[in-house]
Each structure stands twice: as C-alpha cells, then as structure tokens.
Amino acid sequence: MAYLELKNVSMTYGRGANATEVLSNINLTIEEGEFVAIVGFTGSGKTTLVNLINGLLKPTSGEVLFKGEPVVDTSHERGVIFQNYSLLPWLTVGQNVHMAVKEAFPKASKKEINARVEEYVAMVNLSPAINKRPKELSGGMRQRVSVARALAMNPEMIIMDEPLGALDALTRGNLQDEILKIWSKDKRTALLITNDVDEGIYMADRIIPLKPGPNATLGPEFNINIERPRDKTELNDNLEYKKTRNAIIEYLMGIGEERKSASKKIYELPELTPKSFVA
Amino acid sequence: MKQSVTVVQDEKGNFGTMVKDFVIKLIPAMPKWNGKTLVRKVLIPLASIILFVGLWHVGAKALYNIEADYKIQKALTDQGQEAADQMAACIASGDVSCQPNTLPSPAQVWTSFNTLIADHKAISADKAEFKAKTAALNAKREAEGKAPIVYTGRPSFVDQIFTSLKTVFAGFLLALIIAVPVGVIIGLSTTLRNSFNWLIQIFKPVSPVVWLLLVFMIVKTMTKDSESDSAFIISFISVGLCAMWATLVNTAMGVATVDKDYINVAKVLKLGPIQKVFKVILPSSLPLIFTGLRITLSVAWMVLIAIELLAQSPGLGSFVWEEFQNGANDSNSKIIVAMFVIGIIGFLLDRIMLTVQNMVSFNKNATA
C-alpha cells in the first residue's frame, strides 16, 4: 500500500461558464521515506496540488489517500511549509513554534513544550532570535522558523510548497542543505514543490514535472540515482545529474513551446493607410 | 497579547516603566536640531499661529466696528443726535453696559480664560472650606447612617471639563463593549454580515439628536422610580450609540478580511474554533479594531457637546449653551474659550488613541 496516493484527482475552480479546471487526472504515489519533488512553471497549479494533499482543499473528483485513508481535513501527520512563510507577525519566533507544539502535543507539560520549542529553534540555528518578531528577521530566517514550526509538530510527512522560492540563490543553497540535513536524520516522507529543476535534482529521489495549467497534469517521472549525501560542486560533473537535468529541462521547455504554439489563430489586421496632412 | 510562554517572554518592566514608555511614545520623536528644522518645526508653525491670531483680531475689530456703528445709528434715528453722541462716548469709554455684542477679540478671550481659571480657584477654595466645615458633621451623620451633606454649589469650568470627560469615557466604554463583540461575531459569518448590514447602514447616519431623543424615550421610562442621575445616563448612552458604528464596521471588516495565510496556518495547526478566534483572527484584526476605536473616540467627543447641550446634562456642552443663553458681556469670549478647550482635548484624545493604535499594530505605523 502506497503511503500517499492521488487517484485521478481533478480540481475545478468556479462553476458553470466560469469554471476552469486547474488540475486534471493527477495520479501520484509516494512511498514511505521517499523524497519526491514536483517541478513546474509558475501558475501551473502547484499550490492547488499542495493544498489538496495537506487537506486545505477537497478535489472536485478523484481521491487523495494518505496511508489508505481519504484526506478530508488537515492533519498533524502532514506538516506544511508554506511558500510565503505564513508566520503570525504578532508572535515572536518562539511563540510561533510554541503555538504549533502546543496543538500537536496537547497533553505535554509546559516544561516539555518549552524544551521542544527551544530544541527546534536551535535546530534551525535561530536560538539568538527566539524573542524576535518575524518582521525583524530576513527572508531566510523567516523560512527557517517556518521549517522549525512544521517539524516541531513531529509530522510523518513534510509538504513543502516552494519553500525557498522567495530567497536569493546563496541563502537558497544554504537552506537546501539545512533541510536535507534535518530530513536525513529520520528520513520522513517529503514532498517538495519547486520551480527550480536543480533544486529538485539536488534534494529529491524522484522528480515529476507538472505540465502547466489549466488542465495541468503530471508528466513522466525521473528517478535520480545519485548517492546521498550529494555534493553541490561535484554534482556539476556528475553524468547522471547532467543527463537527468537535460531531460527534465527539455521536457519542460518542450511543453512551453507547445503551449506557445498552441494558438494557431491568424489575426487579420484592418487595412489602414496613414492620412496625409501635406496636401 | 501576552502569551503563556516562559522561555520566550518579552522583557517587560513593571507598570511604572510601561507608563513612562507610553508617555514617551506620545511625544513625537525629536529631530536633530539645525537651522532648517528650527525654521520648519518652530518658526513656521509659530508664524502660522501669529497669522491666525492677527487675522482673528482684525476680523473681530471689523465686526466690532460694524456693530458699534449700527448702535450709534440706531440711537440717532430713535432718540436723536444727543443720544447718539452719548452712545459713541459710552462705547469709546469701554463701559460694560453699552459694549457691542459680537465676535470677541483674542485679548478678550484671553481675559475670559483667566477669569474662568480664577473662578475655578475661588470655587475650589469654597469647596475645600465647605468640606472642612462639614467634616465633623458628616462623620456624625455617617455614624448615624444618614447620607452626608454634599457641596451643591455651581460647578466651575474645570469641573465641567471633567464631567464631560467622564461622560465621554462612559460612552466610549459602552461603544467598545457593544461594538467589538458584535463586530467580531458579524465578521465571522457572511450570513450574519449580510443580514445585519441593513441595520448598520440605516442606523449609522442617524443624527446624534435623534439618538438622544430615542434614548430619552427609553431611559425616561426605565428610570421612573429610581433616584439616579438620568441626564448622565441618557447622555452617555447616546454618545455610545452614536459613536460605536465606526468600531462595529471596522471590527467586522477586520475579522472578515484576515489574511488567508493566517487562516491556513490555523487550519494546518488544527486550532479549535475558539482558539482560532483568540489566537489568530483577533490579533490580526487588532490594528483595524483600534482604527475604529480611534474614530469612535473622536466622534464621541464631537457628539458629546451637542448631546450635553440638548440633554441639559452638566458638562462643556451645557456650559456653552448656558453662556449663550446668559448673554453677559463676556459670554461670547467664554464660548470661544470652551471651543479651544474642546478642540485641544479632542486632539489629545486622538493622540492617545493613535499611540495605542501604533503599539498594537504589528506591521505598519498609522499616521495622523
């Protein structure tokens, strides 16, 4: 039995004439302990897909199964790291994490909760900033808080919705390593949604491109058979890496070309001649 | 928003330092002093004040002359040349009995201000004396279980200010107690919001005078048998009802438009409905709620004067009205003094609310 399974999932927004099918016929299986990345263009319905899996949205048709049970609501078993951090700005770093821990472990004592908050804030190297509010932090630090908040709830699966999308390239690289380091500790099942093919290859076991929407659907999957831990600089010379990367980019660019040339309509321009003001 | 987190507690001092911090925040930050800021922050505002007072003086003088000419002309047509000369001489001499009654000049207003202060001192002294005199008697009466004798003399201008402040705060509290919870409930449900919208839209523009009459109808009947001060009750309830709409609408809007990201966080963390309201929705709508409260307080102060004037409840409004009815020589200048006092207090109240608002805003600073 697959750990997470999407069967013929379709998602339509709006009704009647205004209906747009964002996702259609999505089929996906993720096994326990796997790290899967989904790559796609901006606006291809990636966030919708994430919200279907974490339970914020319900599919129009098809099923989302988590450990064999249909997903009907959000759950502490699936931790989410949002694209825009979604930290509560009126709470400090510690309080943001504290709120999540308290919900995930309602029976824990105050002392245990506080210890856990400190542990996870320390894990993302933010102990000195524990009493700061999100607006005092940089983008990378905010995303680290978001990571700590999701992991402190001890989820069985981590869902990351373009977690590093808004960061600069250097911070991005650092955080990728940090997330991988944390992930490799207990190999929780992870789903990464990204628009960066390199990020996907560097982090995941399997990459699946998402064809752009409307009617977005998943393309053929690519397995990444590169030993972990992976080294970013060595990766550049890795044949397997180059091959996969080129194949994925070719596939995605192919779709892009297809999408561009999809419009075959020829527009006829009216015949106009400029008026002469000389005569 | 104090959280029960021991490890991550903010560094908070005792109440005294909190008050001190608050007072410091009330005063705008001091700029670096150089020639430019001196001109911009001191000289130009000062010049504007002088210009204002100057124009006022000139205008008042012109009105005074028109009124004086009219008086002399009237004496001339009614009683002849001799009476007209007498009138002109009387006006020129500054005699109180024949002064033209018009817009007072800045100097007259300043005199009246000093008169009112002196009057307040006299009344305070009188009160203190009364208290000393009746202290022994009151102690005896209290021991016998009788009500003590209280001072029933005329209230001074400063007493009126405090009465007005008391009424406005009672009204403001009433508005807060009604509007915030109702706004939250309405904001949470689209159905409720749609079904209450007509009520808000209809009652929001109703004039303070009509509210006063409505409250009067109800309170008059309800306090029929009691000895309580119904004028105060009527005025503070009317003030509250007039002023609460801004808070109601803003609270409902703030609650209804909480950032979807925060709602998603609440869902992912699986907060219960009550937790969701108190930990996510309320804190995120606090800035808008306080914007509403700030408008409510200024509206409350504005309508208070009109309501006191009509309800005959003591305060600045009735002070203005009584002075107007009084028609004494310095009545007009006392009214102008009251006008400035009302304006300055309104400004201070707004300043306090702005500071509170900035303290609860987590992402941006509201500006005046």
* Digit-coded pLDDT (tens) for B38-80: 888 888 999 999 999 999 999 999 999 898 888 888 888 888 8
Residues B167, B235: contact at Cβ < 8 Å? Answer: yes
Interface test with A, best of B7, B262, B286 (most A CBs within 10 A): B7
Q: What's the whole-number mean pLDDT along residues B355-367?
A: 68
Decide if pLDDT at B367 tops 50: no
Which of A84, A89, A94 is nearest residue B362 as measured by Cβ atoms?
A89
Interface test with A, best of B269, B278, B289 (most A CBs within 10 A): B269
Beta bridge partners of A159: A80, A191
Q: Does A93 touch chain B (CB under 8 A)?
A: yes
Q: What local confidence, expressed as pLDDT, does residue A275 receive?
A: 80
Along the 279 residues of chain A, how does pLDDT read in single tens digits?
688 888 888 888 888 778 888 888 888 899 888 899 998 887 778 888 888 998 888 888 888 988 888 888 888 888 899 888 889 988 999 999 999 999 889 888 999 999 999 999 988 888 999 999 888 888 888 988 998 999 888 888 999 988 888 788 888 888 888 888 888 887 889 999 988 888 888 888 899 988 876 777 888 888 888 887 788 788 888 888 888 888 888 888 877 676 666 666 777 888 888 787 775
Which of A55, A90, A103 is nearest residue B269 as measured by Cβ atoms?
A103
CA distance A59 to A111: 41
What residue has token string 């012109």? B62
CA distance B43 to B49: 10
Q: B286: which chain A residues are within 8 Å (Cβ-Cβ)?
A: 90
Residues of B with CB under 8 A from a CB of A: 1, 3-11, 261-262, 264-265, 267-271, 279-280, 283-284, 286, 362-363
Q: A98: which chain B residues are within 8 Å (Cβ-Cβ)?
A: 3, 5, 8
Burial of A170 (0-12, 13-18, 19+ CB in 10 A): exposed
Q: What local confidence, expressed as pLDDT, does residue B81 receive?
A: 85
Decide if pLDDT at B295 tops 90: yes
Q: A94: which chain B residues are within 8 Å (Cβ-Cβ)?
A: 5, 7-8
H/E element, A222: strand A222-223
List pLDDT tens digits, range B269-283. Answer: 888 889 899 999 999
Interface test with B, best of A53, A58, A86, A113 (most B CBs within 10 A): A86
Burial call A239-266: b when 16+ CB within 10 Å, e when fewer? eebeebbeebeebbeebeeeeeeeeeee
Whether B8 sits inside 8 A of A93 (CB atoms) is: yes
Residues B236, B174: contact at Cβ < 8 Å? Answer: yes
Identify which has the larger pLDDT, B240 or A14.
Answer: B240
A2-77+155-263 under CATH 3.40.50.300, yes or no: yes
Distances (CA, A) of B93 to A154, B8, B195, B331: 92, 76, 69, 20
